[in-house]
Amino acid sequence: MGLQGLASEEIVSYEPATGAEVWRGKTGDVDEIVARTRRAWPAWAAQPLSTRMELVRRFANEVRKDAEKLATLIARETGKPMWEARTEVESVVNKVEISIRAFAERTGQRKLDSALQGTAALRHKPHGVMAVLGPYNFPAHLPNGHIVPALIAGNAIVFKPSEKTPATGEALVRCFHRAGISAEVVQLAIGGPDEGKALVAHDGIDGVLFTGSAHAGIAINRELAGNPGKILALEMGGNNPIVVWDTPKIQDAAVLIVQSAFTSAGQRCTAARRLIVKGALYDAVVSEVKRLADRLIVGAPFDEPAPFMGPVIDNDAADGLTESFLYLLGHGGKAIKHMARPVEDRPFLSPAIIDVTAMKERPDVELFGPLLQVIRVDDFDAAIAEANATRFGLSASLIGGNPQDYNRFWANVRAGVINWNRPTNGASSAAPFGGVGLSGNHRASAYYAADYCAYPVASAELDQPRASIAVGLREG
């Protein structure tokens, strides 16, 4: 059921797992919200950096106080298991100190004294009012990864959460306000695609920080193509490969594959969508992956025993994934593990695995759910070619192989996150995060978020004017 606008100005959020209503509220007036934020921004930017850092640390403390309540809300609104919702809240808290360190490292001040030439200085300025457009899969952690670095840098924020997770967005913003950050400096804009478009195009917005689908990101990029003065950071999806090469550790490989493909019900931008496996290992690897996938518990957030994965976000998403599985099956795919809907009228999906080696044309799309496509290859060059057979370029992993294989893989695979014997997902916030192609616009987030939250200003400075013209003057 997901989320529906029951009236032209009302948004309602429902629990994916049960259909129960979580939240309802009116859409915001974008013009009014942006105007208030613009008025508040100069005073926030004028605060000492130490004050802004202290306030975001207080925000982390507010989240800690509300940790269980916030995790429960995330679990209800997204359907993810409670254990995973708790890890998301931990990530929100941890982001603060990581962002403070990153700001100091990435945007540090520099001064170079040169006697008669004065001082050459480097400082950074905030952009102004930033629109943060958040996704539903990590409705607290991912927008927070934009908001905290932007606040530290001195920007004011208009945050539009996904229309599918407005309650979590509202709870996050309340934590900022309780920490002492003005309600005018961090504003919540409830709305759907129309409000998102209005924010992107608004003259009062100085930057757009977006996490979501490639389709929406491309539309934003097109809208701002004629406005280079507005900073744009796009964090989009992936059609991510996980390559299995020579390894005797089949069980470990299977665990890494299952973690990559099916954590968060496959609703991670870094989830493995394509398993590329050496022919000689195919039977052993695929049978072990299927055996493990058959054991995964799919259930509601608060079920006991705890499920490995919950539902996808809504019935529309579940229907689309089911149709995609049938499309692959009807165009040359061979089912290894069928996709099933175990609960009628609710968006629970069993993890699905399908061999698409024989497909003549494989759709290069991000199937955002628990659907893993398998491709058999015979040599390492073919594996790398298959890994690169996508317009996306977010994450990629090599399982097995030797250091020389990994060096070749790292050097030749197009992705912003490249791992060896680790999952494709679970990237650290203490490292840069981003991709190429349809996965991003070369503005990595996480540790590098400071780069798009402030711009460098170079200055040449003397305490008194001092100048002369040595050539080209008539005698006076």
Residues carrying an active site annotation: 235, 269
Whole-angstrom distance, CA of residue 189 vs CA of residue 324: 33
Inter-axis angle of helices 380-387 and 403-412, nearest 10 = 30
Dihedral sign from CA coordinates of 456, 457, 458, 463: negative
Which residues contact residue 280 at a Cβ distance below 8 angstroms, ignoring those fewer than 6 apart?
A: none
**SS3 call for 436:** coil
In this structure, the number of other CB atoms found within 10 A of the CB of residue 209 comes to: 28
Which residues contact residue 201 at a Cβ distance below 8 angstroms, ignoring those fewer than 6 apart?
A: 223
Compute CA distances 464 → 63, 64, 110, 253, whole Å: 49, 51, 21, 67
In this structure, the number of other CB atoms found within 10 A of the CB of residue 290 comes to: 18
Whole-angstrom distance, CA of residue 278 vs CA of residue 77: 40
User: 3-state SS of the chain: helix, strand, coil percent to 5?
Assistant: 40, 20, 40
